[in-house]
Amino acid sequence: MKTEGGRFSRGFKAALLETMVKTPAVEPPLHGGTRTPGAATSGGKFDTSFETLPAYQAFRTQRAVADALHLNFPFYRVHDAMAGARSVIAGQPVINFASYDYLGLNGHPDITAAVIEATKTWGTSVSASRITAGERDFHRQLERALADIYEADDALVFVSGHATAISTVAALLGPKDLILHDSLIHNCVVVGAQLSGATRRPFPHNDLAGLEAMLAATRDKFERVMIITEGLFSMDGDGPDLARLVDIKDRFDCWLMVDEAHSVGVLGATGRGIAEQAGVDPRRVDIWLGTLSKTLVSCGGYVAGSRPLIDFLKLAAPGMVYSVGMSAPAALAALTAIEIMRREPARIARLQANGQLFLHLAREAGLEVGTSAGYAVTPVIIGDSLRTVLLAERLLKRGINAFPIVPPGVPEKSARLRFFISSEHTEAEIRAAVAATAEEVAGVEREGISLGTIAKLMIKRAT
C-alpha cells in the first residue's frame, strides 16, 4: 500500500472511493407490497428480506472497506491441517496462535486410539437424552475424573460448552435473584442470566472492591445471589483474586461460579486451574464451570460441585434434559486427555514457560499487552479495528496466524490480536512472532490507516 509522508496516497484514496461507490447499498424496506429489488418478501406490506437487517447493512459497508484495502475476510478461514501450534492455510504453513490446544494433545496417539475403540464399542451417538435413553459407563467415568480435579462430590457433562453455562445459570436462578458478573464475562453467562429472569449487574473487570460495594448496597434485596467470574479471561489473559473472592461470597451469603474454560490445564502446577494456582480449597467455590474443547481437545462442557447441585441440574437444566447425551468418542477423548495431563506435568510447565516468554518479549518490544498474566492467552491491543484486521492479514502473509478480535467481541476501541500460546510452540517461533508483530504494528502506525480516516473518506463520498 503506497503512502505519502506516512499517510494515504492520493491514488489509494481514489481507489478506495471508487470501490465504495461501486458497492451496491442495501435499500431500505419498501412498503405497500412493493418488492425491494433483489430481496425475498412475503408479498405483504412489510419487507421480510434478511438484507434489511441493520447489522447486515453494516457488514456490507465493512466488506466494501475490506475490498478497497485488499483484505481477505478473516473469519471462517479454511485450514488444511489439524488444529494445533502449527497449521496450513491456503496451502501455506503457518505458526498458529489461534488454537485452544494449550497442551498439544489434539491428535495424541493415545487419544486417537481411545476414540477409535470407543466408536467400535459404542458407536458415534447415544441417540437421545440421558434422562430417557439412559447413561453409559463412559459418562460417569468422565464426570468422576472432572469432579476429582476440583475435589467435588460430582460433575455433569453437556454436549455444548456454551449451552452448559446457559442451562446452569437459567436453571438455578429466577426473578427474585441477582447475578453479579465480571464485566468481561463470556457471552454464555450473559445469555443464561437473561433467560433466568434474574436481575443482572456487571461489576468492573476484576474489581473486587467494586463487587463488595455492590453487594453491601443490594444483597438484602434479593433471595439468592450468584457471583460469576472466569479463572482465566479469554480476551485479556488475566484472572481474579480467588482467595479474596471466596471470602466475599462467604460474608455476603452468595453462590460463586468460576468458569474454568481457559484455566484447566493452564493454571497450577498440575493444571487443576485457578484454585491450585491460588492455593485455595476448590470446595470453597460452589460451582465450577468449564469446557472440554480446549485443553481437553474434545467438545462439550461440564459443571462440578456438590451432589445436590448435580442432582438438581440432571432434572432441571434444559441443556441436559432436552438435549442428546455426550457421545462415546467425545467423552473418551476428554477422559484420556485428563489422564495424559495428570501423568505429564511437563506439558503444563512448558506451556507456562512459553506464555511467560511471549509476554516478556512483547513488553520488551513495546507492544500493549494489557493485564495479561502471561499464561495461555496474551493480547496485543491495537485499539483501532481496521488496523487490527490489517495487521492480522499482514502477519498471515508472513506465516503467523493470530486472530483479530474486534467489537462487539471486546469493548469499543480495544480491538486486538489475540495470541493463544501452546506447550508445543518453540522458543524460535515465539521470538519470530513477537518480532514480526512489532514490525507490522510500527508499519501500520506510520501509514496512518484507521477507521477514522476511512470514515472521513466515506463522508467525502456522501458529499
Least confident of 73-77, 327-331, 332-336: 73-77
The secondary structure of residue 62, as a DSSP letter, is H
What does the pLDDT read at residue 34? 43
Q: Which residue has the cell 518453540?
A: 426
Decide: 382 and 416 in contact? Cβ < 8 Å. yes
| Residue 455's pLDDT band (cuts 50, 70, 90) | low
Contact 248, 211 (CB under 8 A): yes
Q: Which three cell numbers stand for residue 417?
A: 490480536
- 10 Å CB burial of residue 258 (0-12, 13-18, 19+) is buried
Pairing mode, strands 225-230 and 178-182: parallel
Cα(283)–Cα(217) distance, integer angstroms: 27
Query: For residue 452, what pLDDT band results from cuts at 50, 70 and 90?
Result: low
44/435: higher pLDDT: 435
Question: Is the peptide bond between 109 and the residue preceding it cis, with omega within 30 degrees of 0?
Answer: no
pTM: 0.87
Report helix, strand or coil for 83: coil
- Amino acid occupying residue 216: A
Average pLDDT over every residue of 85-93? 95
- Give the C-alpha separation, 241 to 247, whole Å: 10
| Number of Cβ atoms within 10 Å of the Cβ of 301 | 27
Taking alpha carbons only, the member of 143, 178, 185, 186 closest to residue 335 is 143
| 245-264 pLDDT, tens digit each | 999 999 999 999 999 999 99
Enter the DSSP assignment of 280: -
What's the first-to-final CA gap in the chain, in angstroms?
A: 26
- Whole-number Å distance between alpha carbons of 174 and 436: 50
